[in-house]
Each structure stands twice: as C-alpha cells, then as structure tokens.
Amino acid sequence: MRVHYTALGLIFCVLLLLAPANGFEAEEERQFEVDNPTATLNILSTADLNIFAPLVEAYQQKYPGVEVRYITASSSELMKALYEENAQFDIAISSAMDLQTKLVNDGYARRHDSAETGTLPDWAKWRDRLFAFTQEPAVLVYSKAAFEGLPQPTNRDELIALLRENPDRFAGRVGTYDIRESGAGYLFATQDSRQSESLWRMAEVMGRLDAQLYCCSSHMIRDVTDGKLALAYNVLGSYAAAHLDDNPDLDVLQFNDFTTVMLRTVLIPNTARDPDLAGQFVDFLVSEENRERIEDLTGLPSIDPGVLQREAAFRPIRLGPGLLVYLDQLKRRTFIRAWLNAMVQP
Amino acid sequence: MTAVRARGSLRRRLLLQLLLVAAILSVALYFTVRALAQQAAETTQDNILIASATAISEAARAERGQILVDVPYSALSMLGSIAEERVFYRVTADDLTVTGYDDLPAPDAAIETGNPVFTTTIYRADEVRIAALPRRLTVGDETVILTVLVAQTRLGLAAVSLQISIAAAAAGVGFFLLSGALSWFATNNAMRPLNRLAKSVERRGPQDLSPVETSAPTELVPLLQSLNTFMGRLSASLARTEDFIAEAAHHVRTPLATVRTQSEIAMRSVRKPENKQILREVIRAADESSRSAGQLLDHAMVALRSDNLEKERLNMKDLAQDVIRSISPTADLKDIRISCSGSDTTSAVEGDPILLQNALRNLLDNAVKYSPEDSRIKVEISEAASTVRVDVLDEGRGLGDGDRSHLTERFGRGDNVRDVIGSGLGLTIVDEVVRAHGGSLALTDNPESKGTCASITLPSA
C-alpha cells in the first residue's frame, strides 16, 4: 500500500510540474517546419487543423523562414489559457466572439493598427485589437426528402408553423446546438433572443418535437445527411457548404427575417513573444488582396465589406461590450434555464 | 533744426494695446471653450454610465431569497455605441459581489440610496470613470443595499478632449487674427482725423499764419485752439516787427537825406582834394544807406502784402517798361543801355502791380549795380504754355563760382561782390514776391556774354 501511495504521490508531483506549463487542454498540435527558420509564430486556435493548414502553408510561402506552431483548443480552453494562465502565444484565433471580446475588454490583447486592418469594415473590428477575418452565417440545414410536399419556409415564423402542423413528420427529427455545451450555440441562441421573440416559440415547438441536442455543427450535418434528422437549426453555414456537392438531398436555407452572422476573430495576446510577426500574420489574414484566397484555402467565407448592402437580413454579431452581457454568470444561468424549460419537456 | 523728436507712435501704441486685449481674450476663449466642451463630454459619459447602471439596477430582483440580476443587453451595448471603450460592471448587495468584476472598486464616498456617485480611478491599467447607483432591495425578510457599478475607460474622451483643445486653439487663433485685423482698421479709423489735421497743417506754407479752420474731434479742439492762439500771437508779433523796421527805415532815411544835402553843400566850399574825396565817400555811404533803408521798407511791404495779395490782370511788358523808365536815369549815369523785347499783347499775369514792379525794379537795380560802364542790359519777355517769363541779362561780373543757394536768403550776398556795397535784400524781395504769386526765381549765367541771367517765371493769366 505504502509503495502505492508513493507512486501516486510521484505521479501527482509530475502532474503539478507539468500543469503550469500547459494547464489548458490542447486538442491538436502541429509544427509547420521550414528550412533555416528565422522566427517562430505560436498560434492558439479553435479552428480545426485540417481547415487551417493550407492557410498556414500559404502564409509560409509568402513569408519563408517563419516556423509556425499551431495548437487547437476549444474556445473555453483558449480563454483559460490566455485569461488565467497567461500562456505565451503570438496569435489567438477563435469563433467565440464573446470570449474574444472579453479578452480585449479586460486588457489581454495588444493593439495593432495597419493599412490592412484599415480596410476592414467597422463591424469587423473592435478597439484595433480584435479583427474578424471570416463571416459565417447560422443557417438551417435540411433534407429535401423530409420536406417533400411541404412549402419551403422562408423565415422562422413559417418554419414554426410548419413544425407545429406536422408533428408526425418531424418528431425526434429536429436538431440544434446544446447551448450548455457549445459556445457557438449559446452565442447564436442569445443573438436570436435579441433579434426576436421567435426564439422562445421555436424552442418550445422543438422541445415538443423532442429535439436532439448537439455539441457541434459537423455532427448535425452528418445526421441530416444520414437521414436521422429532417433539419438542423442554427448550423454554421460554412461547414454545411462543404457537404452540399456530395449529398444532393442536403440543402441550406438562410432565413430572410434575419440571419445571424458569426465572425471568426483574431487577436494578438499581450503575452506575444513576437508582436511584430503576429501583426504581420494578422495583416495577412485581413488584407483585401488575400480575402478571396483565404476563402479558397479554408472554405470559410471571408469578410465582405459590402455584404450588408446586398443581404438585408444579414446581422453580423456586433463586437463590443454588449457581448459581455451573455458572459455574465447570472445572465447565463437564467438564459439557459429558460431555454431548457422550453426545449426539454417532460 | 527740428526740435521735435518722434518718440513712439500713437497708432502703434493703440494697435499694440488692442492686440494685447485681443490676445488675452483669445486665451480666455481657448480655456473657456475647452473647459466647457470637456465638461460637456464628461457629462455625456456620466449620463450614459448612469443610464446603463439604471437599466441593470431595474433588472435586479429577489426570488426565493436570492438576488437575480438579468443584465439587459442594451445596458452594456449602449456603452459601446459612442466610442470603443473598455467596459466593466459589478453588482453588489451590501458588500458581497452578486455578479460582474468583483475587483472593480466601489467609491469610498458614503452611499445614499437613489443618488449616483461618480469616481475616476485607474482600473486594469486604464483610467476609468465609475458610476455607482445604489438602491434598496428586499430579499426575503431583510433589506439590502444593492449597488450597481458601471465603469468605462476614458481613452475616447482623451482623444475627444485633444480634438476639442485643437479646435479651441484654432478658434482662439482665428479670434485673435480677426480682432487683430479689426484693431488695425479701428486704429486707422481713429487716427484719421489726426492725420488729416497733421496734413492740413503741413500743407500750409511757412508764411501762412492764418488760423486753422477745420472741424476736429473733441479731443483735438484744445490743441487746435492753442495752435490758433499761438499763430495769432506769432503773426501779430511779426507784423509789429515789420512795422518797426519800416518805421525805423523811414526815420533813418530822413536824417540821411540831410547828411547828403549838407555834404554836397560842404563839398562846394572845400578846396582840398582829399577833403572832397572824404565828402564824396560820405555822400556815397549816405546813398547806400538810404537805398538799404528803402529796401528794408520794400521788404516789410512785400511781407505784408504777400499775405493778402491784391491781384489784378497785368501786362508784363508794360510793367517792365514802366520800371525801365524809372531806372533809366541811374543807368544813364553809367552809360548803360536797357532794351526790352518780347511779345506785348498776351503776356498777361494775375498779380499785385506794386509787388511785381518792386520785384522787377530790384532785379534791374541789381543788374545796373553790377554792370560795368557802357554796357547793355536786356529784358526779354517770353511765354510758354501756361507761364510768362521775364529774363534780365546783364554783362556784369556774373555770379561767380561760389555757392549760389544763399543768394535769395535774407541779407545773403554773392561771394564775388564783397567790394560793392549792398544790403542783400534785393533778391530776397524778388524771391518772396514771385513765390507769393506761385512763380519761381532762377539765377543762371548769361548765355550770351559773361554776365548774369536772372529769370522769373509766373503763371500766366
């Protein structure tokens, strides 16, 4: 027994030593090596490695000699790393706009002002510290077969009516984010509640239809493709677009009452070892000339300053102190409780 | 010669003082605008902070012994609508943090419910303005003081106040430039009557002692009155002097005539040539003295009449011939012939006949006096576009090479005539008369022989 305890104690000590070095939980890590590196750029990101790798390689093509260390983590782990552990990264990329805003607001980001960031529209940057480089609308992904014989809904009210009138067809076959688990889901739901009261009716209708709750967009898309779901609400359109060509039954719908648009943002943490290099990378991401290329490389729609004129329903989530409201613990608890009351019915 | 030295300028002094006032006002304007604008900006921020705090405070309620605060989205988003500022908030019940940033400092000031308290402090590396809004909240059986703190950085405010400062400075400079230009105009305007007066006094000839008759601003009236009084006294004094000279000359001439007569009588009775020579000298001296006295009289008369010319239309040639006739006896004594040539019909001038005759006589007198015996004097009258000119040419010793400028000065005489007795008044009289008529006197060498050419030019009638 004694030996046992000693061994446990040793393990505990090793864990303690390791913890400060890498307290947050990373998912993937990859070193983009180059010959004769002159500098290293450390990126902490929520975007999957396979999505971002081509972009990093394009960056290295333009700036040879820069070694890139790319580490992915969930948005809450990213927040933990920067906010609590002061982990040293040159770049932080996240789709959790609220957490990124909090990092900037609470003074964890470095200012960066350049000609490239100047080309961004006002809604795509905040305080010269937070810069958006993609705009990803929340859409409805549905199976054409499941909607056969029904009129195609164009807004939320029509979808609610449709679901209400056809409980047999949709029971157990609607999906959406579990906002307790998913930061993006919580963000979309709170923005929905800000835009209209239809969120609560939608939650109630979906709850009555025994809605399936998901952690991520990709799982919802998979289940719609498999035919398990008839529709998935508030899915990241950018993820769905990749599957449309392979699955003729799959379709994407942008509501014309309003379409919440999530912005993927980048910031330079205060702890950056090489802020100039980080600034160069930010400029690479947001510069006007690279926008089209980034879209081709990652499949993520890049910032389009004129989109608001063309798409009347587009509502990019506003960067700024308003986003701090839904991070308030009391607010979050109240909101999730109300949402669960509607969504999970006994 | 001038005893008045310019020391400072009224105009400059006035302008400088106005500019100084303008500068002081500009600086005052700058500080006032800046203070007011900053106050306005701060008040705006305070108002938004308190609106935000009120919204949060109203969203607080107690439920089953628990305080619930449903922070409205607008409460924080409104803070981001004006400038991109950092925002912090905190809700406390008594001393316990309910939600928000639990290290956000609450103001030290005693909190009375209902009244917001504002403080400015450094929080998370930036200067922040904190609004604290307390209210009472009943939780279960007890009442707690619920305080909502909302804070915002003032980076934008600093930028705004810099902008305002620049704008205020620009306004100050603009005000100064404008008032500077206006001061310049005002100064010029104020100085105009003074300048006008100075010019009108300056325009008067040196002989003009008549009172200055012009309208002037009240401030200048005493000066003008003094000037006029002074000029009156001066002209009276001058007149008295002239009177005195005339009187004196007159009184001198009479005994001189007696001396001459007595000397001539005595000459007949003396035999010795040296005695005769002495008497001849006496007679000659008496003649010269008498002539000088006469010229003094003439000069006094000229001075008197010049101020008040009695003009009439005259023919210059007639006038000259009259003078030649009156002087011929003297000329004959030295066998000098005087000829007169030139137009006789149109050489008309406007003038005082007595003065002009006097001037011509003096010229001819001089010519005769300095001409050798058996010579000729020519008087030529000619006309130009608007002038009549009289040249008197003699064959005398000329003007010499010395300085000629003092010839027309009173008692001034040429350097080469020291041996001839003369008063030095002759050319002075001519000059004064000609000037009084708006003409001029010129002395040049006789172009035909070695003598002198004295020319007077008068405006034609």
* CA atoms A2, A4, A5, A9: torsion sign: positive
Rounded distance, CA B56 to CA B91, Å? 9
Whether B179 is in a domain gets the answer no
Q: Which residue of A lies nearest to B77 if distances are taken between CA atoms?
A: A322
pLDDT at B244: 82
B422 touches A: beta carbon within 8 Å:
no
Q: Do B71 and A329 touch (CB under 8 A)?
A: no
Question: Which residues of chain B are within 8 Å of residue A330 when distances are taken between CB atoms?
Answer: 68-71, 98-99
DSSP three-state, residue B451: coil
What are the start and end residues of each CATH 3.40.190.10 domain in chain A?
2-134+263-306, 136-261+327-343
Residue B102 touches chain A, beta carbons under 8 Å: no
By residue range, what is the domain housing residue B426?
A: 310-461
Quote the DSSP letter at residue B352: -
Judge contact between B276 and B267, C-beta under 8 A.
yes
- Chain B nearest-CA residue for A128: B84
Task: Write the CA distances from A345 to A159, A211, A336, B17, integer angstroms.
Answer: 20, 10, 14, 87
Q: Do B87 and A105 touch (CB under 8 A)?
A: yes
Give residue A207's pLDDT.
94
Chain B residues with beta carbon closer than 8 angstroms to that of A331: 69-71, 99
Assess whether B273 and B361 both reside in one domain: no
pTM, full prediction: 0.67
**Other residues' Cβ atoms within 10 Å of the Cβ of residue A271:** 18
**Helix/strand/coil for A329:** helix
A322 and B72 in contact by Cβ < 8 A?
no
> What confidence score (pLDDT) does residue A16 get?
45
* The domain boundary residue, chosen from B136, B162, B188: B162
Cα distances (Å, whole numbers) of residue B143 to B60, B67, B115, B148: 14, 11, 18, 16
Looking at the fold, whether B273 and B406 belong to one and the same domain comes out as no
B89 chain-A contacts, CB cut-off 8 A: 324
Among B300, B279, B278, B281, CA closest to B289 = B281
CA distance B137 to chain A (A): 17
The CATH T-level fold of domain A136-261+327-343 is D-Maltodextrin-Binding Protein; domain 2 (3.40.190)
The domain boundary, picked from B162, B197, B217, lies at B162
User: pLDDT-derived band of residue B329, with 50, 70 and 90 as boundaries?
Assistant: confident
What are A80-86's contacts with CB under 8 Å, separation 24+?
A: A80/A23, A80/A24, A81/A23, A81/A24, A81/A44, A82/A44, A82/A108, A82/A269, A82/A271, A83/A108, A84/A23, A85/A20, A85/A23, A85/A24, A86/A271
Cα-Cα-Cα-Cα torsion A313, A314, A319, A322, nearest 10 degrees, comes to 20
The Cα A337–Cα A324 span in angstroms is 19
Query: Which residues numbered 69-98 in B keep a CB inside 8 Å of some CB on A?
Result: 69-77, 79-80, 84-89, 98
Of B121-130, B225-234, B338-347, minimum mean pLDDT range: B338-347
Provide the pLDDT confidence category of residue B367 given band limits of 50, 70 and 90.
Answer: confident
Q: Is B192 exposed, middle or buried (0-12, 13-18, 19+ CB in 10 A)?
A: exposed
Domain identity same for B89 and B62: yes
Residue A20 has a pLDDT of 45
Alpha-carbon distance of B147 to B113, in angstroms, equals 9
Contact B76 A324 (CB under 8 A): yes
B340 and B454, same domain (yes or no): yes
Phi, psi (5° rounding) for residue A48?
A: -60, 150
CB-based contact A321 B124, cutoff 8 Å: no
Nearest-CA distance B23 → chain A (Å) = 40
C-alpha span between A225 and A240 (Å, rounded) = 10
Q: Identify the CA nearest to B127 among candidates B158, B159, B154.
A: B154
Tokens of A45: 């990101």
Token pair belonging to B193: 């009557």
Residues of A contacting chain B (CB within 8 angstroms): 104-107, 126-128, 194, 318, 320-322, 324-326, 328-331, 334
Q: Do B126 and A194 touch (CB under 8 A)?
A: no
Among candidates A104, A322, A328 on the partner chain, residue whose Cβ is nearest the Cβ of B100 = A328
Tokens of residue A108, six digits: 């964890």
Do the Cβ atoms of B86 and B160 come closer than 8 Å?
no
Task: Answer yes or no: do B28 and B69 share one domain.
Answer: yes
Clarify whether residues B40 and B99 are in a common domain.
yes
- Amino acid letter at B13? R
DSSP A201-267: HHHHHHHHTT-EEES-HHHHHHHHHHTS-SEEEEEEHHHHHHHHTT-TTEEEE--SS-EEEEEEEEE
Q: How many helices, marked H, and strands, marked E, lie in chain A? A: 15, 12
- Residue B380 is part of a domain; what is its CATH number? 3.30.565.10
d(C-alpha A195, C-alpha A210), whole Å: 25
pLDDT tens sequence for chain A (346 residues): 444 555 555 455 444 444 444 588 999 999 999 989 999 999 999 988 988 999 999 999 999 999 999 999 988 899 999 999 999 999 999 999 999 999 999 999 999 999 999 999 999 999 999 999 999 999 999 999 999 999 999 999 999 999 999 999 999 999 999 999 888 899 999 999 998 888 999 999 999 999 999 988 889 999 999 999 999 999 998 888 888 888 899 999 999 999 999 999 999 999 999 999 999 999 999 999 889 898 888 889 999 988 888 988 999 999 999 999 999 999 999 999 999 999 987 6
Which residue did the predictor score with more confidence, B14 or B216?
B14
Both B329 and B452 in a single domain? yes
User: Average per-residue pLDDT in chain B?
Assistant: 84
Say whether both B250 and B385 belong to one domain: no
- CB contact residues (below 8 A), chain B span 123-142, against chain A: 124-126
**Lookup: tokens for A139:** 């859409």
Q: Give the DSSP H or E segment for B225.
A: helix B221-269
Rounded Cα distance between A323 and A177, Å, is 19
Number of domains in chain B: 3
The residue to which tokens 């306004």 are assigned: B171
The whole-number average pLDDT for the span B330-347 is 80
Residue whose token pair is 């922070």? B71
Residue of chain B with shortest Cα separation from A190: B73
- Domain C-terminal end among B308, B325, B358: B308
What percent of chain B shows pLDDT beyond 70? Answer: 91
Is the same domain home to B461 and B316? yes
Same domain as B286, residue B371: no
Q: Is B219 on the interface with A (CB under 8 A)?
A: no
A321: nearest CB among B72, B80, B99: B80
pLDDT given for residue B206 in this prediction: 63
**Secondary structure string (H, E, C) spanning A137-174:** EEEEEEECCCCCCCCCCCCHHHHHHHHHHCHHHHCCCE
Please count the residue pairs, one from chain A and one from chain B, whose beta carbons lie less than 8 angstroms apart: 59
Q: How many Å apart are CA A96 and CA A181, to the nearest integer? A: 13
Looking at the complex, report in whole angstroms how far the Cα of residue A105 sits from the nearest Cα belonging to chain B.
5
Query: In which residue are the tokens 């909502």 written?
Result: B148
Q: Hey, CA dihedral for B51, B52, B53, B57, is it positive or negative?
A: positive
B355-381 average pLDDT score? 86
Domain A2-134+263-306: top CATH class: alpha beta
CA B350 to chain centre: 36
Shortest alpha-carbon distance between residue B55 and chain A (Å): 12
The residue among B45, B57, B73 with the most chain A CBs within 10 A of its CB, best to mutate, is B73
* Judgement on whether residues B39 and B106 belong to the same structural domain of the protein: yes
Q: Are strands B117-123 and B96-100 parallel, antiparallel or unpaired?
A: unpaired
- Residues B396 and B320 both lie in one domain: yes
**For residues B45-50, average pLDDT:** 93
Residue B53 confidence (pLDDT) above 90: yes
Measuring CA to CA, which residue among A68, A78, A82 is closest to residue A33?
A: A68
Which of B84, B99, B100 shows the shortest C-beta gap to A126?
B84
ipTM score:
0.86
Query: Minimal Cα–Cα distance from B42 to chain A, Å?
Result: 20
Å between B122 CA and nearest CA of chain A: 13
Helices B273-306 & B353-370 angle (0-180, nearest 10): 150
Contacts of A43 (CB under 8 A, 6+ apart): A56, A68, A69, A70, A71, A89, A90, A91, A92, A93, A281
Classify each residue of B370-382 as buried b or exposed e, where b means 16 or more C-beta atoms within 10 Å of its C-beta.
bbeeebebbbbbb
Nearest-CA neighbor of A255 among A177, A123, A152, A149? A152
DSSP string, B270-281: ---HHHHHHHHH
In whole angstroms, give the CA distance from residue B46 to residue B131: 7
The shortest C-alpha distance from A167 to chain B (Å) reads 34
Q: How far apart are the first and last CA of chain B?
A: 38
